Amino acid sequence: MGNAPPSSTPRHVAVIMDGNGRWAESRGLPRKAGHRAGAESVREVVDACLDLGIEFLTLYAFSSENWNRPEKEIDALMKLLEQFLKTKGQEFGKKNVRLRTIGRTQMLPDSCRDQLEKVKADTAKNTALTVILALSYGSREEITDAAQRIAQKVAIGQLAPEDISRETVSAHLDTADFPDPDLLIRTSGELRLSNFLLWQLSYAEFFISPKNWPDFHKSDFREAIEDYSRRHRRFGRV
């Protein structure tokens, strides 16, 4: 996957892209305008990751709880997602970016899911950066699904209960193919995880930006990486 970044640079960055709706409402615009503006911030952050040699970028794009939003907003988000995949899919190909997903993507509309699978297939061999979209994703649901898969193996004798380890759990999560995030960025000043990567973020560093996601640009991302590089990660050690 290319040269590993220096130790002062995170290998994997996860982002909770918060504040699209508030950005739009503060400007007297419909909420969907904020989501559309947020897509430009995605482009900037992807480019920043490529510049810095970061290998993995996970974006919390649509949570399992987001299905509870008004139907009109959900429809707008799904249309925006489909358009994003059509345009960014081509860009990802040119920039050697691979697209992967986590979450219950079977709940997405057929047209979105078809476009998603097309971009994943088209970019499967790209190596510069892996962008992981968390779609219809909730960490508690993910852990529950993993527990069920492990229990099924125990029930049929493929796995003994005493052999279940942290590694076993990790191997049954949606993120089994990826390293845990080193850094979590959350925008809009919010100080909660919102059911995002609860297992995987156990030892991640956090960076909270007061800016709404559409106002979060490449320079802000670089600031977060610079802040990370000054920290001493002990992982429970002295």
Give the residue numbers marked as catalytic.
Answer: 18, 66
Tell which residue, 61, 20, 59, 1, has the closest CA to residue 181: 59
* CA–CA gap between residue 162 and residue 214 (Å, rounded): 48
* CA–CA gap between residue 1 and residue 130 (Å, rounded): 10
8 A C-beta contact, residue 135 and residue 62:
yes
Q: Rg of the Cα trace of the chain?
A: 18
Tell me phi and psi for residue 13, to 5 degrees. -115, 130
State in Å, rounded, how far the first CA of the chain is from the last one: 32
The three-state secondary structure class of 199 is coil
Residue with tokens 């990826």: 178
Q: Which amino acid does the sequence have at 154?
A: V
